[in-house]
Chain A
Amino acid sequence: MSDVSALIGKPWKKPSFIQRPWLRWLLILGFVAYLIAAFSTIEVNWSRVYAGLERGEKFVLAFTQPDFTSRSSDIWEGMIESIIMTVASSVVGIAISIPIALGAARNVAPLPVYLICRSIIAISRALQEIIVAILLVAIFGFGPLAGFLTLSFATIGFLAKLLAEDIESMDKVQAEAIKASGAKWTQWINYGVQPQVMPRLIGLSIYRIDINFRESAILGLVGAGGIGATLNTAFDRYEYDTAAAILLIIIVIVMALEYLSGVIRARVQ
């Protein structure tokens, strides 16, 4: 207590995250040097950019006069296909995700089950959608089936992981109280765990539907069906006005889903 007087009257500074000053400055300078070196390796062909500006301008201008009509039946078909893919893959993916999430939560599942479920999730997350889609198109051929399978598979990695994490961070005592009453494992999940994670499950599911719809537009580019295929065709034909129309429709639907998910999530708190 006596050495407090030595501290009085001196300014106080928060201790640095990295204690040793030489190490701190070495890391900062090293990072800046790397950044400069990295930027200097980017090669820009300015004459190519100048030529491309014109095309870019045409593309942007197309948004001022999008053409919904001349390819309307193609757009309609693609959109219906995308929506079917989204709904089907979300339902199947979520249904498979729930048991896997239970298995991947360490406080609910025994170790062997946990390891199996975690590896399923890891595989699903390691393989990016486009790569899976290319593989599945190679197996099942062009069309929405490959897209549907890709999205279902991707949904498992996303939803099961995040739901499992929510289960792991649930309030232990609430679940313990149910266990203390002599409930069976299934009843324990239904009464002690499910009510705690339900808002998160609903929120994540709606978010995943949103993602699946956006992804379905991308997957068309590699031949997995949906509106992306229509979009790709439009680009190939330099029909920027049709492409703009498709993009506008996608934006509107995504925004509508976003609004809807906000409303639903506010309801289920």
Chain B
Amino acid sequence: MLRLEKLVKTYKAGDQALKAVELDVPEGQVLALIGPSGAGKSTLIRCINRLVEPTSGKVYLGEVELTGLSSGALRRERRRMGMIFQEYALVERLTVMENVLSGRLGYVGFWRSFLRRFPQSDVDEAFRLLDRVGLAHMADKRADELSGGQRQRVGICRALIQNPALLLVDEPTASLDPKTSRQIMRLICELCKERGLAAIINIHDVALAQMFVQRVIGLRLGAVEFDGPPDGLTPDVLTAIYGEEDWEATIEAVEEDDTEATK
């Protein structure tokens, strides 16, 4: 459903953030992208919806090739890719409802959005989504009044109301406490299953990634170092991705979490 062919990104300073990345994501698959800071995880995700322009290579979303699109066609394709951000990236001074409805901007005209007169179906869907994440009563609060976990839920609603085929998720739990992190990851994965969405989740918490996804991609210095199921992440593999370190504790933590989850 999403296919990356020899995707390269070289920044102006000359450092190569992505070195000919090849990736194929089938319909409905949730995969985690792990790797050290600076490995190119964020760049990879942003090259898919072209918030960062890739230097060369091709990105296919379904049948459409994205890197060659004009700005108008790109806008239409962006509607099919919902994005969830690190630090939430809600517009702080807008209300929760405005933030959710901003996910529909690609579908409505300027004046409708300027006057906040969104179609009734969009408003209904916004309330349904907010209710699904337990925030329907917060609709008229300003986004900066919410806690971190609540903000990320609003961010999830904003991405889903686009009715996307693919979710691009950039460090969704980076500034959340461990419990909220799990709740957010669980919510994202549940919603993907409910709606049959594919998702690429950037995450630096390896244990958390292993708990929730079906496939893990390990990125190191802009190249794919590992591609396989979560239990394939042995200490050797983690060393190859991150460098030398004692990994036993990380892996043990996952096993404990698993037993906890099955209780």
A contact set with B: CB distance below 8 Å: 171, 173-174, 176-184, 186-188, 190-192, 195-196, 198-199
Contact of A181 among B92, B94, B158 (CB under 8 A): B158
Q: Is the CB of B90 within 8 A of A183?
A: no
For the complex of A and B, 6 pairs with smallest distance between CB atoms = A182-B106, A183-B105, A182-B78, A177-B89, A195-B93, A182-B79
Bound Cα distance A174, B83 (Å): 12
Contact of A187 among B51, B83, B113 (CB under 8 A): B113
- Known contacts A183-B75, A195-B94, A196-B92; 5 further A-B pairs (Cβ under 8 A): A177-B85, A180-B51, A181-B105, A190-B113, A199-B93
Point out which of B75, B79, B81, B168 has the most chain A C-beta atoms below 10 A from its C-beta: B75
Bound Cα distance A191, B106 (Å): 12
Residues of A within 8 A of B91 (CB): 174, 177-178, 191-192, 195-196
Task: Tell me whether B162 is interfacial, beta carbon within 8 Å.
Answer: yes
Interface residues on B, range: 20 to 34
Residues of A within 8 A of B114 (CB): 186-187, 190
Contact of A180 among B49, B94, B104, B110 (CB under 8 A): B49
**Binary interface encoding of chain B residues 87-115 relative to chain A, with 1 for a CB under 8 A from any of its CBs, else 0:** 10111111000100011111100100110
Bound Cα distance A174, B218 (Å): 28
Kindly provide the distance from the CB of B136 to the nearest chain A CB, expressed in whole angstroms: 21
Residues of B within 8 A of A177 (CB): 83, 85, 89-91, 102, 155, 158
Q: Is the CB of A181 within 8 A of B162?
A: yes
Contact of B106 among A176, A181, A199 (CB under 8 A): A181
Residues of A within 8 A of B107 (CB): 182
Q: Is the CB of A186 within 8 A of B93?
A: no
Q: Is the CB of A180 within 8 A of B93?
A: no
Q: Is the CB of A173 within 8 A of B89?
A: yes
Task: Given A187-B110, A187-B113, verify A182-B162 contact (CB < 8 Å).
Answer: yes
Interface residues of B in 51-96 (CB under 8 A from A): 51, 75-79, 81, 83, 85-87, 89-94
Q: Is the CB of A181 within 8 A of B78?
A: yes
Bound Cα distance A181, B114 (Å): 16
Residues of B within 8 A of A183 (CB): 75, 102, 105-106, 113
Bound Cα distance A180, B94 (Å): 17
Bound Cα distance A173, B114 (Å): 21
Residues of A within 8 A of B85 (CB): 173, 176-177
Residues of A within 8 A of B76 (CB): 182
Bound Cα distance A225, B29 (Å): 73
Kindly provide the distance from the CB of B225 to the nearest chain A CB, expressed in whole angstroms: 27
Q: Can you name 16 A-B residue pairings with CB atoms under 8 Å?
A: A174-B89, A177-B91, A177-B102, A177-B158, A178-B91, A180-B51, A180-B81, A182-B162, A184-B110, A186-B110, A191-B102, A191-B105, A195-B91, A195-B92, A196-B91, A196-B92
Q: Is the CB of B98 within 8 A of A191?
A: yes
Residues of A within 8 A of B110 (CB): 184, 186-187, 190
Contact of B105 among A171, A187, A195 (CB under 8 A): A187
Residues of A within 8 A of B168 (CB): 180
Point out which of B83, B93, B158 has the most chain A C-beta atoms below 10 A from its C-beta: B93
Contact of B102 among A173, A181, A186 (CB under 8 A): A181
Residues of B within 8 A of A173 (CB): 85-87, 89
**Binary interface encoding of chain B residues 122-160 relative to chain A, with 1 for a CB under 8 A from any of its CBs, else 0:** 000000000000000000000000000000000100100
Residues of B within 8 A of A191 (CB): 91, 94, 98, 102, 105, 113
